[in-house]
Structure 1
């Protein structure tokens, strides 16, 4: 299964995420995660900051007029179009922006789907302006949900999620500082600065 081409997977995922009751139940049952953490993180975004949101999925984090929503999947971009017109199909490993373009970068619930999250984080750090913030969430190993993560890997839905310690190392290696990690269940929320 491929996030870029699987219409069924993308549509089902986005429908669940957009539905408040389904997303709360799914996050709690699957990952022992309180999705209100994600909602409160999204609510604190600066609507005036030039922001890159990748993968944007169906657009739940779109907030403000200076928000660039990007995703590898055209299916997800079509779903995000209902929230913004500033959409771009882009590969997280090779962003089509000059160095130091954005005030903020967001990457919610996408790193665990990648084969090389460390490279993706370096690329996000590259397009951040000095002083800019990177904010996101990702599923991590090292919890009692590892068998489910392994199953999703075998189904080719997930890539190579690391542990919370791996995430800290990847952020540090990307040249980011002021790293703050918050693990809730199998999900770690993070912020860091360039």
Structure 2
């Protein structure tokens, strides 16, 4: 089973991941042990979202980033994740990040938390997210990167078919630049890099 199919139909691993991320104690402990990451950074990144912006959230997972924005659109390839996200909102769609079913220049913002490292082609995914952002729109997210003390854990996740090729923090900057995004800001915490960029 390829990586895309594993995340699309892998119910147990998707549900286990979402349960851990949604649980404040488990998410804090897991982030620290696995990635040497202070998950407070993720919570702050999510809190910084504009609550009135038309926002695309991909992959939305179980809805960790939803909040109170009625214009927050959750998209994921995994039916398991979308089913879990329905507890928080009904504005959901199953779709592929490489072929989003939205016109160019649709969204005020796009968020992608903890998902790029699970994709087979992160640069293509970022380019597609940038396509559906309106001019002046913001792309915000986090991803696990290589080039830290956690590369062994990343290789293990890749062997298990849970992670794609991943990249370094420098690669993330290159992917954002290649997608035509500017005003790029990267924030490192352990093996996680947070990023913000503007179209």
TM-score, normalised by the number of residues in structure 2: 0.96
Unaligned runs of 5+ in 1: none
Q: Distance in 2 between matches of 1:25 and 1:107?
A: 22
Q: Name 1:92's counterpart in structure 2.
A: 97
Q: Distance in 2 between matches of 1:23 and 1:92?
A: 25
| Among 188, 194, 198, the residue aligned to 1:189 | 194
Q: Specify the SS of the correspondent of 1:123.
A: helix
Residue 6 of structure 1: how far off its partner (Å): 1.0
Q: Distance in 1 between matches of 2:157 and 2:95?
A: 24
Q: Name 1:51's counterpart in structure 2.
A: 55
Q: Specify the SS of the correspondent of 1:144.
A: coil
Between 119-128 and 39-48, report the one with greater CA deviation: 39-48
Aligned pairs (5 A) from 1:24-173: 24-63=28-67, 64-173=69-178
Q: Specify the SS of the correspondent of 2:186.
A: strand
What is the total number of aligned residue pairs between the two structures? 194
Residue 160 of structure 1: how far off its partner (Å): 1.1
Unaligned runs of 5+ in 2: none
Moved over 3 A (4+): none
Residue 74 of structure 1: how far off its partner (Å): 0.6
Q: Name 1:15's counterpart in structure 2.
A: 19
Q: Specify the SS of the correspondent of 2:8.
A: coil
Residue 71 of structure 1: how far off its partner (Å): 0.1
